[in-house]
Amino acid sequence: MLANSSAETKRVAIVIKYLGTAFYGWQRQPHHRTVQYVIERAINRTVASSSQNWIPLHGAGRTDSGVHAAAQTAHFDVSSPIPGQKWATVLNKYLPHDVVILASAEVPSDWHARFSASWRRYRYTLYTAASPNLFVAPFSWHYYYEPLDVTAMEAALKPLLGYHDLAAFCRAGSERSHTWIDLQDINCTCQDSLITVELQANGFLYGMVRLLVGLLVKVGRGEISPETFFEIWFYRQRDRVKYSAPAKGLCLLQVGYDYFPFPKSVWSNHQPHFYFH
């Protein structure tokens, strides 16, 4: 344990990778194991002092229970002689096996993991072979009930690019003041038995990606057309979006900033693509 000192308060940014399987999401909650809490516990264990209250951790976004992250970003304010770039090494000593700090750095006091972010990028993975694959299963939705038409799915996704009201893809309980989202990039690819959907936006609504993928699969199996998919979200018909895709297929890939105090190599070890030959 490292004792706290009279050092000036500094803001430290961290990049985090975690497997969401055994976590009850990101946000700290009573009686549940969450990513935010286990990292906060490591921070406060490091600087334990009767003169300093519990140090909170502020994340770029809140992932749901079971959702993974390849490069979540967060920050905390601390009075400690530990240099910003050393915090990753220090905290990893106290963290469980399913979460790791990839990098840490001191940032300006007005830099904020959430409010300074200009975009977030998510990937959803579907595995469509008839037989389960134990190595892919923890990170994908095993959808083998019928073939999926990826061309139709791509056609349904294209009109989403741009600034739209996506209230149809927002779960109840959202804390956002509005449901307008700027979708900056969309990518849907198929390789053998794997289908991946990647979405990049300035922000995401509560449960948005899983609701969107749940409806998109209805397009893939021919239950609704790309035109109907468009009508549902364009006219904000939330009552027609009934199914949320399983959490384990979703991964927060990256969070983008105008000022990012880490080299690109921090992102190079993101969630790997699965390939079959």
Q: Band of the pLDDT at 264, cuts 50, 70, 90?
A: confident
Question: Residue 267 pLDDT > 50, yes or no?
Answer: yes
Q: What is the pLDDT at residue 265?
A: 83
Residue 52's pLDDT band, with cuts at 50, 70 and 90, is low
- Phi then psi dihedrals of residue 34, to 5 deg: -130, 160
Is residue 51 over pLDDT 60?
no
Does the pLDDT at position 270 exceed 90?
no
* Contact between 257 and 117 (Cβ < 8 Å): yes
Task: Give me the pLDDT at residue 48, please.
Answer: 78
Q: Is residue 4 over pLDDT 50?
A: no
Per the annotation, the verdict on 64 as an active-site residue is: yes
In this prediction, what percent of the chain has a pLDDT beyond 90? Answer: 84
Encode pLDDT of 195-245 as tens digits.
Answer: 999 999 999 999 999 999 999 999 999 999 999 999 999 999 999 999 999
With cut-offs at 50, 70 and 90, classify the pLDDT of residue 269: low
One of 64, 98, 149, 182 is an active-site residue; which one?
64
The rounded percent of the chain whose pLDDT value lies above 70 is 95
* pLDDT of 121 above 60: yes
Instruction: Read off the pLDDT of residues 57-68 as tens digits, 9 standing for 90 and up.
Output: 999 999 999 999
Annotate 133-179 with DSSP letters as a single string: -TTTGGGSEE--SS---HHHHHHHHGGG-EEEE-GGG--TT---S--
Q: What is the mean pLDDT of the chain?
A: 93
Mean pLDDT to the nearest integer, 158-179: 93
What pLDDT sits at residue 5?
Answer: 45
Q: What is the pLDDT of residue 3?
A: 42
Mean pLDDT to the nearest integer, 30-47: 95
Q: How far is CA 147 from CA 127, 128, 178, in A?
A: 11, 8, 36
Report, as an integer, the average pLDDT of 81-104: 97
pLDDT at site 49: 58
Q: Which domains does the chain have, with CATH numbers?
A: 9-107 (3.30.70.580), 118-254 (3.30.70.660)
Q: Is the pLDDT of residue 43 over 60?
A: yes
Contact residues for 45 (Cβ-Cβ < 8 A; gap 6+): 1, 94
Q: What mean pLDDT comes out for the span 177-204?
A: 95
